[in-house]
């Protein structure tokens, strides 16, 4: 089914255009090479230099930037915070995505409307989300307080962001979950829809209940979709910045790794350390992505 | 669907090619690199400012040229900017960008040696950094700072090691504001003159329940919180760092220590609304003070009465809020200066036009106009106060600004947070340590003692790293 | 039996209601806040319909006379449309050729190039911001539409290629075989056969790329210097940064900035769904 096996009919074009693939790819390679790979190479190299306009000149520093980062208590704390953002972000967006996908899988009158509204948060610019959610969480006039108080769940208005570390991080990350859940839902839905109905039929004949079917068929077979959704969410939550910055400023109780990168680069002007930290973040993203794929991803063939 | 799946597996991407592909990729990347490097080589050198001439004599701008001003205040009315164009022939393109984002832009542009503006913000807190980075053109050849000092008391905020990196865009200093209506309702008579009076007055208001939490402190981990602490330290008769940047706040008897203790106690005892833990300065002022939910801001910004509290569309306390002399240990305390500066980035293209604009913009008459001399139609929205005493005088004569004559006195006696050397080059790291630790202490995550020693440790490391 | 299925239906309806509230309420709340006065918005407990109702905030934003907020707002709206629109055209054009090569042609280095392209999706923004700015500055493209469009394109290509690649891979090869028998080259086959049958895939890619362009903030913040190129997100942040702009007006600005992507999501969501589904790895 894959390329190599069905080549017989394509010999002619292939011989005729030996360089054709490269011609077709050249615009892409030029773009990615000049505007993504090249900047990455620069960053990678500069991570090993002292790039600090307050303290010139730029000079080779070996691993000094990395050492300084490891000993910086703010960086350490933000790494712990970021781990929490990732757990909350990946966990909730996968859970919500799965629930929404299961609901959307059933054909019904409402499906079109639900689908349209479910996709909505993903389409909105992050800057706008920050405005919207900042107002929802507002400690004095926010609707979150208003709803919780009028339903009797809280006695008086709470300050949601800035006091408790875990509560702050969960609520900040919830904004990102709101944005990324549609994507997770669609990815999982794609996987759900590729499960042949016959398998469920067979299970039904064997007398399996709904829960049994979900646990024994749906969950294992939806793993590829789950894995991709989790990786997407991981990339976003590991790089969380806007939501934290707008809702919580630089408070150490919520600062993320990207916030530290920004602080070190643009406020302290220690760009070498900033590059080093973003390099570490890239590595962490790669490692954790591979980890998720190794644990969750299973090739599924029907 | 099933056939599609098999086709989509990454395994189908395995190609038989081994060597040619990486080589080709490398070649293309190299080609792109060569292109970029070639382009870098031809990058524009920054125009050198003509550093000749005696102070006060500016090079004449080219008529028909234009300048770009990127600033965190809205553009002045077009009709007023047109007057500048009529006088000099220079067109003005004004771009507004929020303060934080503007700082990112300044750094990104300077790091890439790229033009982005002929004039932009120079924050007083960044002066030490800019002296070292040489990102701004020193104005010493064009303006005589010593001569201007009498009329522009805050001009030295923008000097570092003798270099004048900007002129004041406005003037600003911390002041204490009091909602006199709330104070009277709670039975507070007279104006609290000392810190003890002030604290008692607040406790009285709280006890009476006129407002449940009478004091505004913006406890969000942001610059405004650091400023609050500096001001309160000044009120306790001290300074956070001395002229050699040595910490002055470590011992429990020091002004800085007492100030921090006072702030943290104010939060814990309920003098400050709980919500303030997440509020930045202006956010707190607009949602608390302007709504009549608190009675006082100890370290408010000069000009907020006119620009926020007396504006009916955004305030419920019109006519109720007054500036009071900042209460100190035994009488009025000094007010700390924190004005905005306007300077010329090293990469500016139209230096002559920029210099002409600075001169025009900071002129006595013009500074008064920005604050309302010719009425509301000519002001810069949100402009705090004129940089010049003489402008305030014009405003006081015309009775144009709430409390202009009190502000004139305060302006004259305001002082820089780091008089002499200017803000240290590591101010950003210092302030970061200050606001995070003060925030943590208020949130209960660390004690005052821990906060103070954390900040001091940071200062030692910063000094050692230079 | 009937009772149980009724219960189940009720549970499902409740779940759907929860999903709808979760997805739409924050947007509704912004609309609600934007259509009332500051005092109305600051009432405790909150009003769930605008009370008192006012269109004043939108009036301020739609007023294009003079140098006010309205004027700046419309220009930034136009900028965002041009930048996202042209970046979409460029991205999709490049992606079509590249995705076709990946999906249908065999050549050395296919896997490594594809992996390298996709790996750029893992890069954090601040890792490339300054070097990228330096490149744009050296070729004098700072504060130009072209500069922003080029940067957007480089950022969106990996995802666009991934979606198109999977879409092409799902097209039966038999369709092209006929063309090859007639002596067509791959480029002709792409043009005559693949592109016409891939309409929905191209639409999906275009819409997703356009929405990504519309949402950009940090790159245009740095790469644009003034209203000549600033998109609407930068404008929203500028007003948010003033901190003295009332929340009602801020929400109105947010609603207007979200209006175009919001309408696209509501009306054209089936293409977005198709695109994401095509792009999901199996």
Residues B327 and B345 reside in one and the same domain:
no
* A288/B253 Cα distance (integer angstroms): 50
Q: What's the rounded Cα separation, in Å, for the pair B323 and B402?
A: 9
**Residue contact C15–A99, C-beta within 8 A:** yes
DSSP for chain A, written as a single string: --GGGG-GGGHHHHHHTSSHHHHHHHHHHHHHIIIIIHHHHHHHHHTTEE--TTS-S-EE-TTHHHHHHHH-HHHHHHHHHHHHHHHHHHHHHHHHHHHHHHHHHS--TTHHHHHHHHHHHHHS-HHHHHHHHHHHH-TTT-HHHHHHHHTTS-SS----SSSSHHHHHHHHHHHHHHHHHHHHHHHHHHHHHTS-HHHHHHHHHTT--HHHHIIIIIHHHTHHHHHHHHHHHHHHHHT--HHHHHHHTT-TTT--HHHHHHIIIIIS--HHHHHHHHHHHHHHHHHHHHHHHHHH------
In this structure, what are the phi and psi dihedrals at residue C148, rounded to the nearest 5 degrees?
-65, -40
pLDDT in the model for residue A12: 47
Question: Cα separations (Å) of B437 from A182, B219, B222, B423, B454?
Answer: 38, 11, 11, 20, 7
Residues of B in contact with A33 (CB under 8 A): 28-29, 31-33
- Which residues fall within 8 angstroms of residue B305, CB to CB, at 6 or more apart? B177, B321, B322, B323, B402, B403
Residue A66 lies in a domain: no
Give pLDDT, residue A242.
82
How far away is chain C from the Cα of B111, in angstroms, using its nearest Cα?
7
3-class DSSP assignment, residue B343: strand
Look at strands B159-160 and B415-416 and give their pairing. unpaired
Judge: C122–A133 Cβ closer than 8 Å, yes or no. Answer: no
A126: CATH: 1.10.3720.10
**Contact: A178, C42; criterion CB under 8 Å:** no
Dihedral angle at the C-alpha atoms of B432, B438, B444, B450, nearest 10 degrees? 90
Pairing of strands B296-301, B215-216: parallel
Residue partners of B320: CB distance under 8 A and separation at least 6: B179, B180, B181, B182, B292, B309
Write the DSSP symbol of residue B345: B
pLDDT tens track, chain B, 466 positions: 333 333 332 323 333 333 444 454 555 555 544 444 444 433 333 343 444 445 667 899 999 999 999 999 888 999 999 999 999 999 999 988 888 889 888 998 998 888 999 999 999 999 999 999 999 999 999 999 999 999 999 998 999 988 999 999 999 888 899 999 999 999 998 899 999 999 999 999 999 998 999 999 999 888 889 999 999 999 999 999 998 899 999 999 999 999 999 999 999 999 999 889 888 887 788 778 988 999 999 999 887 888 788 888 778 899 999 988 899 999 889 889 889 999 999 999 999 999 999 999 999 999 999 988 998 889 888 788 899 999 999 998 887 777 788 888 888 888 888 877 788 999 988 998 999 999 999 999 999 999 999 999 999 999 987 7
Nearest C-alpha in A relative to B277: A162
Whether residue B134 is found in the same domain as residue B270? no
Inter-chain Cβ pairs, chain A and chain C, closer than 8 A: 281
SS3 of C28, please? helix
End-to-end CA distance of chain A: 14
Residue given tokens 């923008």 in the structure block = B158
The pLDDT assigned to A256 comes to 93
Q: Which residue of A has its CA nearest to B274?
A: A159
Tokens of B12: 């189908």
- Interface test mutation site (partner B, options C75, C134, C136, C281, max chain B beta carbons within 10 A): C134
* B13 Cβ neighbours under 8 A, 6+ residues apart: C102, C110, C111, C114
Domain that includes residue A214, residue range: 72-134+164-296
Cα-based torsion angle of the residue sequence B279, B281, B283, B288 in order, rounded to the nearest 10 degrees: 90
Is the same domain home to B277 and B372? Answer: no
The chain B residue lying nearest A1, using CA atoms, is B7
Does residue B8 fall inside a structural domain? no
Query: Which architecture, in CATH terms, is C69-279?
Result: Orthogonal Bundle (1.10)
Rounded to an integer, what is the distance from CA B180 to the centroid of its chain?
28
The residue that leads in pLDDT, B343 or A139, is: B343
Average pLDDT over residues A51-77: 92
Dist CA B211 CA B202 (whole Å): 10
* Residue B202 host element (H or E): helix B195-208
Taking CB atoms and an 8 Å cutoff, what residues of chain A touch C277?
186-187, 189-190, 193
Encode pLDDT of C82-123 as tens digits: 999 999 999 999 999 999 999 988 899 899 999 999 888 888
Q: On the CB side of A52, how many CA atoms lie within 13 Å of its CA?
A: 21
**Tell me, what's the pLDDT at C169?**
87
Task: Give the whole-angstrom CA distance, residue B201 versus residue B187.
Answer: 9
* pLDDT of C46: 85
Contact C124 A119 (CB under 8 A): no
CA nearest to B28, candidates C147, C117, C122, A27: A27
Instruction: Quote the pLDDT of residue A25.
Output: 93
Take residue C2 and report the two structure tokens written for it.
């009937």
**Within 13 A of B116's CA, how many CA atoms are on the CB side?**
37
Q: Is B284 in the same domain as B144?
A: no
Q: Are B193 and B368 in contact (CB under 8 A)?
A: no
Does A74 sit within 8 Å of B220, measured CB to CB?
no
Count CA atoms within 13 Å of residue A10 on its CB side: 17
Q: Are residues B305 and B211 in the same domain?
A: yes
- Domain count for chain A: 1
**Cβ(C125)–Cβ(A259) below 8 Å:** no
> Which residue(s) pair with B323 in the sheet?
B177
* 8 Å CB contact of C101 and A21: yes
Residue C62 — φ and ψ, nearest 5°? -90, -10
Task: Looking at the complex, report in whole angstroms how far the Cα of residue C67 sits from the nearest Cα belonging to chain A.
Answer: 23
pLDDT in tens, B262-297: 999 999 999 999 889 888 887 788 778 988 999 999
Other C-beta atoms closer than 10 Å to the C-beta of B137 total: 25
Cis peptide before C52 (omega within 30 of 0): yes
Q: Which residues make Cβ contacts (< 8 Å) with residue B247, sequence separation at least 6?
A: B240, B241, B256, B455, B456, B459, B460
**Letter string b/e over residues A46-80, b meaning 16 or more CB atoms within 10 A of that residue's CB:** bbbbbbbbbbeeeeebeeebbebbeebebbebbbe
Taking only Cα atoms into account, the Rg of chain A, rounded to an integer number of angstroms, comes to 24
CA atoms of B454 and B440, how far apart (whole Å): 11
Can you tell me which residue has the tokens 């300084």? A68
Question: Does residue B250 sit in the same domain as residue B104?
Answer: no
Whether B274 and B330 map to the same domain: the answer is yes
Could you give phi then psi for residue C44, rounded to 5 degrees? -125, 120
B143 domain-assigned: yes
Q: Which of A56-65, B413-422, C58-67, C216-225 has the highest mean pLDDT?
A: A56-65
Q: Is the dihedral of CA B18, B19, B25, B26 positive or negative?
A: positive
Give me chain A's average pLDDT, please: 87
Enclosing domain of residue B168: 66-172+340-408
Q: Which residues pair with B69 in a beta bridge?
A: B94, B119
Q: What angle do CA A254, A257, A258 make, to 5 degrees?
A: 105
Mean pLDDT calculated for residue range A42-62:
92
Whole-angstrom distance, CA of residue B338 vs CA of residue B125: 8
Structure token digits, residue A100: 């929404």
pLDDT score recorded for residue C64: 62
Same domain, B184 and B231: yes
Domain identity same for B157 and B197? no
* Residue of B25, B33, B129 with shortest CB distance to A269: B129
> In angstroms, rounded to a whole number, what is the distance separating the alpha carbons of residues A39 and A282?
14
CATH of the domain at B180: 3.40.190.10
Domain count, chain B: 2
Question: Is A149 in the C-facing interface, judged by CB distances under 8 Å?
Answer: yes
Q: In Å, how far are A239, A296, B455, C19 from A259, measured between CA atoms?
A: 9, 29, 20, 31
Across residues C135-140, what is the average pLDDT? 89
Measured between alpha carbons, how far is residue C112 from residues A28, A110, C69 in Å? 14, 44, 49
Q: Is residue B373 part of a domain?
A: yes
Chain C neighbors (3+ CB pairs < 8 Å): A, B
| B405 compared with A68, residue with greater pLDDT | A68
In a domain, A192, yes or no: yes
Return the beta strands (E) in chain C as ranges. none
8 Å CB contact between B276 and B219:
yes
Among chain C residues, CA nearest to A276: C127
Q: Are strands B66-71 and B91-96 parallel, antiparallel or unpaired?
A: parallel
Subunit contact A146:C45, Cβ cutoff 8 A: yes
Higher pLDDT, C131 or A7: C131
Give A98-112 pLDDT, tens digit per residue.
Answer: 999 999 888 777 788
pLDDT of residue C40: 84
What DSSP assignment string belongs to B34-92? Answer: HHHHHHHHTPPPPPPP---S-TT-PPPPPTT-EEEEEESSPPPPHHHHHHHHHHHS-EE
Within this chain, do residues B217 and B258 fall inside the same structural domain, yes or no? yes
Nearest to A268 among B2, B219, B429 (CB): B429
Tell me the three state secondary structure of residue B340.
Answer: strand
B391 and B439 inside one domain: no
Q: Which residues pair with B340 in a beta bridge?
A: B123
Instruction: Give the C-alpha separation, C103 to C193, whole Å.
Output: 14
Q: Are A249 and A134 in contact (CB under 8 A)?
A: no
ipTM, 2 dp: 0.87
Q: Is the peptide bond before A203 cis (omega within 30 degrees of 0)?
A: no
User: Residue C38: its pLDDT value, please?
Assistant: 79
* Euclidean distance between CA atoms C7 and B325, whole angstroms: 69
Query: Does A8 fall in a domain?
Result: no
- Other CB atoms within a 10 A radius of the CB of residue B31 amount to 15
């Amino acid at each position: 089914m894959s390329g190599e096996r069905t080549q017989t009919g394509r010999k002619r074009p292939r011989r005729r255009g030996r360089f054709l693939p490269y011609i077709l790819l050249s615009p892409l390679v030029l773009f990615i090479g000049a505007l993504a790979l090249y900047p990455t190479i620069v960053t990678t190299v500069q991570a090993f230099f002292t790039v600090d306009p307050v303290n010139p000149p730029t000079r080779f520093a070996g691993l000094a930037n990395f050492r300084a980062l490891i000993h910086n208590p703010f960086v350490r704390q933000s790494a712990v915070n970021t781990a929490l953002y990732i757990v909350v972000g990946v966990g909730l967006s996968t859970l919500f995505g799965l629930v929404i996908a299961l609901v959307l899988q059933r054909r019904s009158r409402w499906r079109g409307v639900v689908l349209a509204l479910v996709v909505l948060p993903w389409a909105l610019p992050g800057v706008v989300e920050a405005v919207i959610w900042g107002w929802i969480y507002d400690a004095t006039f926010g609707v979150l307080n208003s709803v919780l108080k009028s339903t009797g769940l809280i006695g008086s208005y709470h300050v949601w962001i800035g006091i408790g570390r875990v509560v702050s991080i969960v609520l900040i990350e919830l904004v990102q979950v709101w944005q990324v859940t549609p994507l997770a839902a669609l990815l999982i839905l794609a996987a759900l829809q590729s499960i042949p109905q016959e398998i469920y039929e067979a299970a039904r004949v064997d007398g399996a209940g709904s829960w049994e079917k979900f646990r024994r068929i749906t969950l294992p077979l939806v793993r590829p979709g789950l894995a991709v959704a989790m990786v997407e969410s991981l990339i976003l939550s590991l790089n969380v910045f806007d939501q934290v910055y707008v809702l919580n400023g630089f408070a150490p109780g919520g600062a993320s790794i990207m916030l530290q990168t920004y602080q070190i680069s643009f406020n302290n002007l220690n760009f070498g350390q900033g590059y080093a930290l973003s390099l570490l973040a890239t590595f962490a993203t790669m490692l954790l992505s591979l980890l998720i794929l190794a644990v969750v991803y299973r090739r599924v063939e029907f | 669907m099933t056939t599609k799946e098999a086709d989509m597996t990454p395994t189908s991407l395995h190609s038989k090619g081994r060597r040619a592909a990486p080589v080709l990729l490398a070649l293309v990347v190299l080609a792109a690199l060569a292109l970029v490097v070639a382009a870098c080589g031809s990058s524009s050198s920054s125009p050198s400012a003509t550093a000749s001439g005696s102070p006060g004599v500016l090079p004449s701008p080219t008529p028909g040229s234009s300048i770009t001003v990127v600033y965190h205040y809205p553009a002045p009315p077009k009709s007023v900017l047109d007057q500048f164009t009529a006088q000099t022939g220079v067109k003005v393109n004004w771009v507004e960008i929020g303060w934080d984002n503007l700082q990112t832009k300044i750094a990104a542009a300077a790091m890439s040696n790229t033009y982005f503006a002929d004039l932009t913000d120079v924050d007083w807190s960044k002066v030490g950094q800019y002296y070292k980075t040489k990102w701004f053109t020193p104005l010493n050849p064009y303006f005589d700072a010593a001569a201007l000092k009498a009329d522009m008391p805050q001009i030295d905020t923008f000097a570092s090691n003798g270099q004048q990196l900007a002129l004041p865009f406005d003037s600003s200093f911390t002041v204490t504001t009091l909602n006199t209506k709330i104070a009277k309702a709670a039975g507070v008579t007279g104006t609290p003159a000392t810190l003890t009076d002030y604290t008692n007055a607040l406790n009285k208001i709280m006890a009476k329940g006129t407002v449940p939490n009478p004091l505004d402190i913006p406890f969000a981990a942001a610059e405004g919180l650091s400023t609050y602490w500096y001001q309160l330290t000044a009120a306790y008769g001290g300074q956070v760092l001395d002229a050699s940047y040595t910490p002055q706040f470590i011992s429990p008897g020091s002004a800085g220590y007492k100030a921090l203790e006072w702030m943290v106690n104010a939060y814990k005892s309920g003098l400050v609304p709980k919500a303030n833990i997440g509020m930045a300065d202006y956010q707190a002022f607009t949602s608390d003070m302007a709504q009549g939910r608190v009675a006082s801001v100890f370290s408010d910004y000069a000009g907020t009465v006119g620009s926020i509290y007396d504006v009916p569309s955004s305030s419920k306390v019109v006519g109720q809020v007054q500036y009071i002399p900042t209460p100190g240990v035994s009488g009025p305390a000094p007010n700390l200066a924190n004005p905005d500066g306007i300077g010329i980035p090293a990469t500016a293209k139209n230096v002559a036009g920029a210099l002409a604009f600075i001169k025009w913009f900071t002129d006595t008459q013009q500074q008064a106009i920005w604050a309302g001399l010719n009425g509301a139609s000519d002001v810069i929205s949100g402009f705090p106060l004129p940089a010049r005493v003489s402008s305030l005088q014009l405003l006081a004569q015309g009775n144009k600004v709430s409390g202009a004559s009190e502000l004139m006195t305060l302006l004259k006696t305001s002082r820089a947070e780091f008089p002499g050397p200017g803000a240290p080059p590591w101010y950003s790291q210092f302030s970061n340590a200050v606001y995070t630790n003060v925030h943590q202490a208020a949130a209960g995550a660390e004690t005052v003692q821990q906060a103070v020693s954390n900040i001091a440790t940071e200062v030692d490391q910063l000094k050692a790293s230079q | 039996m009937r009772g149980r299925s009724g219960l189940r239906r009720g549970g499902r309806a409740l779940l759907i209601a929860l999903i709808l509230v979760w997805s739409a309420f924050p947007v509704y709340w912004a609309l609600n806040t934007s259509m009332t006065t500051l005092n109305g918005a600051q009432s405790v407990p909150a009003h769930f319909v605008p009370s008192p109702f006012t269109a004043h905030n939108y009036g301020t934003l739609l007023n294009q006379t003079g140098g006010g907020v309205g004027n700046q707002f419309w220009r930034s709206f136009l900028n965002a449309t041009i930048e996202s629109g042209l970046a979409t055209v460029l991205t999709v054009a490049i992606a079509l050729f590249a995705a076709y090569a990946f999906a249908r042609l065999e050549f050395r280095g296919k896997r490594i190039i594809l992996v390298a392209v996709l790996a750029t999706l893992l890069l954090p923004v601040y890792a490339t911001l300054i070097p990228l700015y330096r490149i744009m500055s050296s070729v004098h493209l700072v504060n130009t539409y072209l500069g922003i469009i080029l940067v957007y394109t480089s950022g969106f290509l990996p995802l666009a290629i991934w979606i198109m690649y999977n879409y092409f891979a799902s097209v039966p090869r038999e369709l092209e075989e006929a063309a090859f028998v007639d002596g067509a080259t791959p480029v002709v086959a792409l043009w005559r056969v693949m592109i016409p049958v891939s309409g929905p895939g191209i639409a999906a890619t275009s819409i997703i790329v356009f929405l990504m362009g519309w949402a950009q903030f940090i790159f245009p913040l740095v790469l644009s210097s003034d209203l000549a190129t600033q998109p609407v997100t930068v404008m929203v942040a500028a007003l948010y940064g003033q901190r003295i702009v009332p929340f009602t007006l801020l929400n109105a600005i947010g609603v207007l900035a979200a209006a175009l992507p919001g309408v696209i999501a509501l009306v054209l969501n089936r293409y977005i769904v198709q695109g994401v589904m095509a792009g999901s790895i199996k």
